[in-house]
Chain A
């Protein structure tokens, strides 16, 4: 039981690094993809947060990004191994087009996550650890403190710039 909890925590850290790195590589904090994302960023900034970090959080809400890609890839690997993960990547690609998102952060994240998660299943992890881990990872960004999360993302974004 303790072992599974530790696996989930480790999976959360791996998923966090993976999706934040892919999202920042694809410049999600730069501009809001739709006006809704910009509005969310403005409200987060008004609450004391960072505009660039808030923009990334708004973009995560408004279209499936690398975090959604990682979650669905974990789900895909859980039900059907690597083919399941790649099917999830296809579904994320379709989801991006439906949500008026011209980018490839979600699809790239899902493909990368498929192979990362499959790799970790070979060394004792279960794909279900990554489903729970990704939910914990998105909780730390979107669900605990928007002010602190947006400042951290803003700082990482300025490093990339």
Chain B
């Protein structure tokens, strides 16, 4: 039970840090911590084998989004 509270507290902390950070590039690592915490709390809240697939899908999806946004921020693919 304490594990869930620790993970939830870190999620809130990371969300606040991501909002307060002024530099776009340095925002991504804070959002990354938030994704870890949300994926972890999903599994801690719903103890079922299918939750693993949901958490992995959420995590991979949010990582792909961060990847896409960061690459757009970097200027995208030069043609």
**A135-B10 CB under 8 A given contacts A61-B70, A95-B63:** yes
Size band of the interface chain B makes with A: 35 or more
Known: A8-B3, A40-B28. 18 other contacts (CB 8 A): A1-B2, A36-B73, A43-B24, A61-B70, A68-B36, A68-B63, A75-B40, A88-B52, A95-B59, A98-B60, A99-B63, A131-B40, A134-B40, A135-B10, A138-B33, A138-B36, A142-B29, A142-B33
Query: A82 at interface (Cβ–Cβ under 8 A)?
Result: no
**Distance in Å from the Cβ of A146 to the closest Cβ of chain B?**
6
Query: A63 at interface (Cβ–Cβ under 8 A)?
Result: yes
Residues in B whose Cβ lies below 8 Å from that of A5: 2
The answer on a CB contact under 8 Å between A62 and B66 is: yes
The answer on a CB contact under 8 Å between B32 and A61 is: yes
A128 vs B43: C-alpha distance when bound (angstroms): 9
Residues in B whose Cβ lies below 8 Å from that of A42: 25
A150 vs B51: C-alpha distance when bound (angstroms): 33
Question: Binary interface profile of B, 20-49, with partner A (CB < 8 Å = 1, else 0)?
Answer: 000111101111110011011001100111
The answer on a CB contact under 8 Å between A94 and B60 is: yes
The answer on a CB contact under 8 Å between A99 and B64 is: yes
A interface size (C-beta, 8 A) = 57
Query: A84 at interface (Cβ–Cβ under 8 A)?
Result: yes
The answer on a CB contact under 8 Å between A61 and B67 is: yes
| Cβ 8 A contact of B59, one of A8, A34, A68 | A68
Interface residues of B in 41-79 (CB under 8 A from A): 43-44, 47-49, 51-53, 55-57, 59-60, 63-64, 66-77
| Cβ 8 A contact of A143, one of B7, B33, B40 | B33
A34 vs B37: C-alpha distance when bound (angstroms): 24
The answer on a CB contact under 8 Å between A143 and B29 is: yes
**Distance in Å from the Cβ of A32 to the closest Cβ of chain B?**
9
Query: A50 at interface (Cβ–Cβ under 8 A)?
Result: no
The answer on a CB contact under 8 Å between B75 and A35 is: yes
Residues in B whose Cβ lies below 8 Å from that of A146: 26, 29
**A134-B36 CB under 8 A given contacts A40-B70, A100-B67:** yes
A43 vs B28: C-alpha distance when bound (angstroms): 11
The answer on a CB contact under 8 Å between A142 and B30 is: yes
